[in-house]
Amino acid sequence: MTDLFKDRAQDWDANDMVRALSLAIGTAIQANVTLDDTMRVMDFGAGTGLITSQIADKVEKVTAVDVSQAMLDKLMAKEELQGKVEALFQNILEQPLSMRFDLIVSAMAMHHVEDTGKMVACFAEHLKPGGKIALADLDEEDGTFHPADIEGVYHNGFNREALRSVLLSHSFSAIRFMTAHTIKKEEKFYPVFLVLASRA
């Protein structure tokens, strides 16, 4: 498995755009999901732990899943996450976990997954009955957000209604979208949504 983020991991947390986006998404999650110290949470595409860091002290445990070992190494080097976070270098769409979660969070990882339906089905399988998702990614855009030659980007954001349909088809309910943040990049604006839903 090629680590597409190997070269970017070292300076990831120093990127002002990434930090502002992660803070906004983490704030939106905390404002809309009740967290408590009995919860087990999966952070899908956890990266260096910028979302995990905002919720780890409010829940029982976070399982940080990513396909970039370099990003997870940065996450696990953070002292404040020791004992609260388990990092797994694993593609859970190909190798599901045996554990089930109360909540799955994700920030800007979904556009790196080619098969959205398979990903949503995977989320449903990894949730306890009544478990919730809080997923953030780009709204549908014109393809200018990422460089044209970038590897591993399969979607130019997501159409909210199309994503709602995929969630409904995999037994999610109480689906709610909101705009968590807007990224300004080279004089263009790119809204970022947070979608909340519950598994039946």
Residue 123: CB atoms within 10 Å: 25
**CA-angle at 83, arms to 82 and 84, nearest 5°:** 95
* Cβ atoms of residues 195 and 176 within 8 Å: yes
* 153 within domain boundaries: yes
- For residue 8, is pLDDT > 90? no
CATH number for the domain that contains residue 71 = 3.40.50.150
* 6 within domain boundaries: no
- For residue 7, is pLDDT > 90? no
CB pairs under 8 A, 24+ apart, for 151-155?
151/2, 151/4, 152/4, 152/112, 153/111, 153/112, 154/111, 154/112, 154/113, 154/114, 155/110, 155/111, 155/116
* 7 within domain boundaries: no
- For residue 49, is pLDDT > 80? yes
Domain assignment of residue 81, given as a range: 12-199
* 2 within domain boundaries: no
* 183 within domain boundaries: yes
Tell me the average pLDDT across 81-86.
93
Number of domains the chain contains: 1
* 119 within domain boundaries: yes
* 75 within domain boundaries: yes
Which band of pLDDT confidence, cut at 50, 70 and 90, is reported for residue 150?
A: confident
Which band of pLDDT confidence, cut at 50, 70 and 90, is reported for residue 2?
A: low
Which band of pLDDT confidence, cut at 50, 70 and 90, is reported for residue 149?
A: confident
* 148 within domain boundaries: yes
Which band of pLDDT confidence, cut at 50, 70 and 90, is reported for residue 5?
A: low
- For residue 147, is pLDDT > 90? no
Report pLDDT digits (tens) over 154-166. Answer: 999 999 999 999 9
